[in-house]
């Protein structure tokens, strides 16, 4: 099931998983997901541009697509905004409501601290989400903002294959979505850490399966 009529989070996750597995969505699915996303975006007021979860989602513990928990409402709301906008771009349904929705989301991103690579608290996770969004347009300008972000990320190496304070697997996911020499260097740096993780997987769940696929994608690049 790809579309969850009463869960924005589950729909974004499900569609994102199809893309991770390189399983293209048909036009009808893309249109239905797009319609749900656009319909959940707040048009005005203090929450303008954000995508409103359904009431049934209030008790759901927020996590990143790769399973790392989110502890602040700020991170949850902004990452959901970024991932919803990213989906709208990737699904490729081109009409005026979609264009306006993406534009509103981008204005919110551009006005936020993470658009300049913020590393305060959970803004580290949001900065990675924002890099995933920028990756959708990397072919247009491969050596500008995204490269600056990648170089900043590299300065947070902890010497053990991870980046200080950044969600490890979510960062790996972002790097696998880039075709750039600097991204490849960061993936090579991370190899010892994800190879240590692999033997520790016991009971598989949706997050561990995604992590294993991400690692497989990293290894297939070599």
Tell me: do 150 and 101 sit in the same domain: no
Same-domain pairing of 180 and 94: no
Residue 17 lies in a domain: yes
Task: Examine residue 68 and state whether it is found in any structural domain, yes or no.
Answer: yes
Residues 70 and 4 in one domain: yes
147 and 42, same structural domain?
A: no
pLDDT of residue 142: 58
212 and 165 inside one domain: yes
Q: Are residues 99 and 162 in the same domain?
A: no
- Assess if residue 96 is contained within a domain: yes
Residues 12 and 79 in one domain: yes
Q: Is there a domain that residue 119 lies in?
A: no
The pLDDT value recorded for residue 204 is: 83
| Amino acid 59: pLDDT | 73
**Short-list 216, 166, 159, CA closest to 193:** 159
Are residues 16 and 58 both part of a single domain?
A: yes
Q: Which of 71, 94, 111 finishes a domain?
A: 111
Give the global pTM. 0.95
- In order of 94, 105, 125, the CA distances from 100 in angstroms are 10, 9, 26
Does one domain contain both 99 and 170?
no
- Residue 56, pLDDT score: 86
What's the pLDDT at 139? 64
- Measured in whole angstroms, how far is the alpha carbon of residue 30 from the centre of its chain? 18
Residue 130 lies in a domain: no
Residue 172 falls within a domain, yes or no?
yes
pLDDT of residue 140: 67
Q: Which domain holds residue 86?
A: 1-111
End-to-end CA distance of the chain: 33
- What local confidence, expressed as pLDDT, does residue 124 receive? 98
What are 48's two structure tokens? 């303008």
Q: What pLDDT is attached to residue 143?
A: 60
pLDDT of the chain along its 222 residues, tens only? 688 999 999 999 999 999 999 998 999 999 999 999 999 999 999 999 999 999 988 777 899 999 999 999 999 999 999 999 999 999 999 999 999 999 999 999 999 999 999 999 999 999 999 999 999 987 666 568 999 999 999 999 999 999 999 999 999 999 999 988 999 999 999 999 999 988 777 668 999 999 999 999 999 876
How many domains does the chain fold into?
2
Residue 221 lies in a domain: yes
Residue 80: the pLDDT is 98
103 shares its domain with 174:
no
Same domain assignment for residues 84 and 7: yes
Residue 117 · residue 152 · CB < 8 Å: yes
Query: 174 Cβ partners below 8 Å, 6+ apart?
Result: 128, 131, 132, 135
* Helix (H), strand (E), coil (C) string for the chain: CCCCCCCHHHHHHHHHHHHHCCCCCCHHHHHHHHHHHHHCECCCCCCCCCECCCHHHCCCCCECCCCCECCCHHHHHHHHHHHHHHHHHHHCCCCHHHHHHHHHHHHHHHCCHHHHCCCCCCHHHHHHHHHHHHHCCCCCCCCCHHHHHHHHHHCCECCCCCECCCCHHHHHHHHHCCCCHHHHHHHHHHHHHHHHHHHHCCCCCHHHHHHHHHHHHHHHCC
Question: Is 125 contained in some domain?
Answer: no
Q: Is the domain of 2 the same as that of 106?
A: yes
Say what the pLDDT of residue 60 is. Answer: 79
Q: What phi, psi does 83 have (nearest 5°)?
A: -70, -35
**Rounded to whole angstroms, how far apart are CA atoms 41 and 99?**
13
Domain boundary among 61, 90, 111: 111
Q: How far apart are CA 37 and CA 30, in angstroms?
A: 11
């Amino acid at each position: 099931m790809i579309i969850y009529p009463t869960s924005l989070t589950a729909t974004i996750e499900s569609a994102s998983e199809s893309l991770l597995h390189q399983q293209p969505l048909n036009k009808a699915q893309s249109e239905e997901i797009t319609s749900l996303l656009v319909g959940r975006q707040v048009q005005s007021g203090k929450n303008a541009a954000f995508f409103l979860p359904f009431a049934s989602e209030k008790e759901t513990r927020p996590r990143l697509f790769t399973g790392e928990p989110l502890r602040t409402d700020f991170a949850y709301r902004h990452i959901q905004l970024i991932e919803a906008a990213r989906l709208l771009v990737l699904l490729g349904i081109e009409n005026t409501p979609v264009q306006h929705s993406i534009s509103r989301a981008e204005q919110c991103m551009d006005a936020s601290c993470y658009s300049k690579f913020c590393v305060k608290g959970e803004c580290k996770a949001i900065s990675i989400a924002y890099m995933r969004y920028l990756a959708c347009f990397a072919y247009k300008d491969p050596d500008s903002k995204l490269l600056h972000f990648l170089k900043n990320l590299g300065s947070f190496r902890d010497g053990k294959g991870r980046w200080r304070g950044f969600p490890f697997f979510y960062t790996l996911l972002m790097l696998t979505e880039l075709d750039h020499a600097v991204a490849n260097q960061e993936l090579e740096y991370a190899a010892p850490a994800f190879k240590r993780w692999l033997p520790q997987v016991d009971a598989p769940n949706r997050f561990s399966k995604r992590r294993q696929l991400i690692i497989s994608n990293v290894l297939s690049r070599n």
